[in-house]
């Protein structure tokens, strides 16, 4: 192994300069060229969040009794969320490290609730086909069976199908507000009727929408009820580090009643190190995440968040209108917030080829499958690039229409292949093999020359065969995650 620990400490300025250089190939989110992953305000605000984080970077959220400062910040953040979601101070919950942890906690909580209160030994949860993959992860981690409810033509979950899926093992029903792939808000009131009638918890995944939907409403956008105004909603998850513009590592889960939340808490009373209790998955948690979340909320206030929502609303409306004017493109469903996807209706226009051409112009483009489409999450800063994006998009559609062969080359071919391979179990195995290899200490980057094959059928790195198309497709896909 080559030594990587320097013999002596390096100058701090040199270290910081090198750190900065590592990001050379990252998406240019500061200029509004990325449409996911980052919620960027501006450099001054970024510095402010960094200062707030640094004030408590060594504080530890593991023990709220020791760091009462962090507990105060957490309680303040949760009270703000409860107010926004039409809850009360009687509600309960915790801050978490991100949306995935919040979703995992709900899955674990309702599994344990079903076991303790209903005697359910084979727990199941009903989730829409559009549900975030964090719910699949929660089911795998905590031993729940997923029953997947189909979507309606508007890409929201079908309540009647949910009703038919409910059985004596159901411990939870899920709704998205909005769901990630298409930006639609599931029919929470209709799902609530089912949940109340059957005495089943209803969780709303508002990890994306929690800190923008309330302010879109205040800005005059008409939205269906999705929060605690709906009586059957028992819990909501929301990310402060998305449209709350906190630093990364700040989400929350809020419960209407203690009777559910208590099943989330872990207690070990016989550990030699002392009685131990933890309300979430992580033990140690950097205090900076609490401080930056608290600071973000205080810095914006209601007016600041409403202004952000107005900018997002207007930019999204301009983008949707502009895309609808481009022949051969179609918006999926009826996006109501800040997320949308669009596909091609022209057989001569491969939508993934359009994505390739857009990336050649410097845009970081996300793709979705089933159906094949391009995806965008709009932030306030995107209002400055709407015209440039639409101009490039129209030109790229024209380029692909003039040369349909582009759909069979480059990333368009590889991603299109991944979405259509029928043997999904083989795809899963291949992804697992490739992804695991990227965490070998001698590796890091996905190497197409050593990508393992599927029983040699499409390439076998171990025997020296050249990787086949499926290998290259999956390797490219993983390199973007």
Dig out the tokens for 359 from the structure.
């990336």
- 283 shares its domain with 202: yes
- 347 shares its domain with 250: no
Tell whether 200 is covered by a domain.
yes
For residue 446, pLDDT beyond 60: no
- 403 shares its domain with 457: no
Report which of residues 398 and 476 the model is more confident about: 398
CB atoms within 10 A of CB 459: 22
- 72 shares its domain with 129: yes
- 356 shares its domain with 430: no
Tell whether 355 is covered by a domain.
yes
- 107 shares its domain with 251: yes
Task: Identify the CA nearest to 365 among candidates 332, 400, 341, 391.
Answer: 341
Q: How many domains does the chain have?
A: 3
Average pLDDT, the chain: 89
Angle between helix 287-324 and 68-84 (nearest 10): 30
Where is the domain boundary, 390, 413, 436?
413
**What is the residue range of 206's domain?**
53-267+278-296
- 176 shares its domain with 225: yes
- 290 shares its domain with 313: no
Tell whether 311 is covered by a domain.
yes
CB 67 within 8 A of CB 75: no
What pLDDT is recorded for position 438?
72
CB atoms within 10 A of CB 385: 17
* CATH number of the domain bearing residue 323: 3.90.1150.10
Q: What is the pLDDT of residues 116-167, one digit of tens each?
A: 999 999 999 999 999 999 999 999 999 999 999 999 999 999 999 999 999 9
Tell whether 219 is covered by a domain.
yes
CA 241, 201, 261, 77: dihedral to nearest 10 degrees?
Answer: 30
Q: What stretch of H or E contains 83?
A: helix 68-84
For residue 469, pLDDT beyond 70: no
Residue with tokens 């309300």: 279
Tell whether 354 is covered by a domain.
yes
Tell whether 226 is covered by a domain.
yes
Tell whether 44 is covered by a domain.
no
Beta strands in 3-144 (DSSP E): 92-96, 124-128
- 99 shares its domain with 224: yes
CB atoms within 10 A of CB 421: 13
Please state, for a pLDDT cut of 70, what percent of the chain lies above it. 87
Buried/exposed code over 210-230 (b: 16+ C-beta within 10 A; e: otherwise): bbbbbbbbebebebeebbbeb
Q: What is the pLDDT of residues 403-439, one digit of tens each?
A: 988 876 766 655 555 666 666 676 677 777 776 777 6
Q: What stretch of H or E contains 43?
A: helix 43-55
Tell whether 173 is covered by a domain.
yes
* CATH number of the domain bearing residue 231: 3.40.640.10
């Amino acid at each position: 192994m080559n030594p990587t620990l320097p013999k002596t400490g390096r100058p701090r300025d040199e270290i910081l300069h090198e750190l900065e250089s590592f990001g050379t190939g990252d998406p240019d989110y500061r200029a509004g060229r990325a449409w996911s992953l980052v919620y960027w305000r501006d450099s001054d605000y970024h510095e402010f969040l960094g200062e707030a984080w640094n004030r408590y970077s060594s504080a530890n959220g593991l023990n709220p009794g020791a760091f009462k400062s962090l507990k105060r910040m957490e309680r303040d953040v949760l009270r703000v969320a409860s107010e926004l979601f039409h809850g009360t101070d009687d509600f309960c919950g915790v801050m978490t490290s991100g949306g995935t942890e919040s979703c995992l906690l709900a899955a674990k909580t309702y599994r344990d609730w079903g076991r303790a209160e209903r005697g359910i030994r084979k727990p199941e949860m009903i989730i829409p086909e559009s549900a975030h993959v964090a719910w699949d992860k929660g089911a795998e981690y905590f031993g729940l069976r997923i029953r997947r409810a189909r979507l309606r033509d508007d890409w929201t979950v079908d309540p009647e199908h949910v009703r038919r899926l409910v059985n004596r093992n159901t411990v939870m029903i899920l709704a998205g507000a909005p769901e990630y792939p298409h930006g639609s808000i599931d029919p929470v009131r209709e799902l609530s009727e089912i949940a109340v009638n059957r005495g089943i918890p209803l969780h709303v995944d508002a990890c994306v929408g929690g800190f923008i939907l309330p302010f879109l409403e205040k800005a005059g956008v008409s939205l269906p009820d999705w929060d605690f105004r709906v009586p059957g909603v028992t819990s909501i998850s929301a990310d402060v580090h998305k449209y709350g513009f906190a630093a990364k590592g700040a989400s929350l889960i809020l419960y209407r009643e203690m009777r559910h939340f208590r099943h989330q808490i872990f207690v070990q009373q016989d550990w030699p190190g002392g009685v131990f209790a933890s309300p979430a998955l992580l033990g140690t948690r950097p205090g900076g995440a609490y401080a930056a979340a608290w600071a973000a909320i205080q810095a914006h206030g209601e007016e600041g968040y409403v202004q952000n929502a107005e900018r997002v609303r207007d930019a999204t409306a301009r983008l949707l209108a502009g895309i609808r004017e481009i022949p051969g493109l179609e918006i999926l469903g009826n996006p109501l917030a800040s997320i949308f996807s669009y596909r091609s209706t022209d057989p001569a226009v491969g939508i993934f080829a359009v994505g390739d051409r857009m990336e050649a112009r410097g845009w970081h483009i996300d793709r979705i499958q089933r159906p094949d489409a391009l995806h965008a999450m709009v932030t306030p800063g995107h209002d400055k690039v709407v015209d440039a994006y639409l101009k490039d998009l129209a030109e790229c559609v024209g380029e692909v229409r003039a040369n349909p062969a582009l759909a069979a080359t480059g990333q368009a071919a590889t991603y299109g292949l991944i979405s259509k391979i029928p043997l999904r179990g083989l795809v899963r195995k291949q992804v697992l093999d490739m992804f695991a290899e990227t965490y070998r200490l001698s590796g890091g980057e996905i190497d197409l020359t050593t990508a393992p094959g599927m029983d040699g059928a499409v390439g076998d790195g171990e025997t020296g065969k050249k990787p086949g198309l499926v290998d290259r497709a999956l390797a490219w896909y993983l390199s973007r995650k």
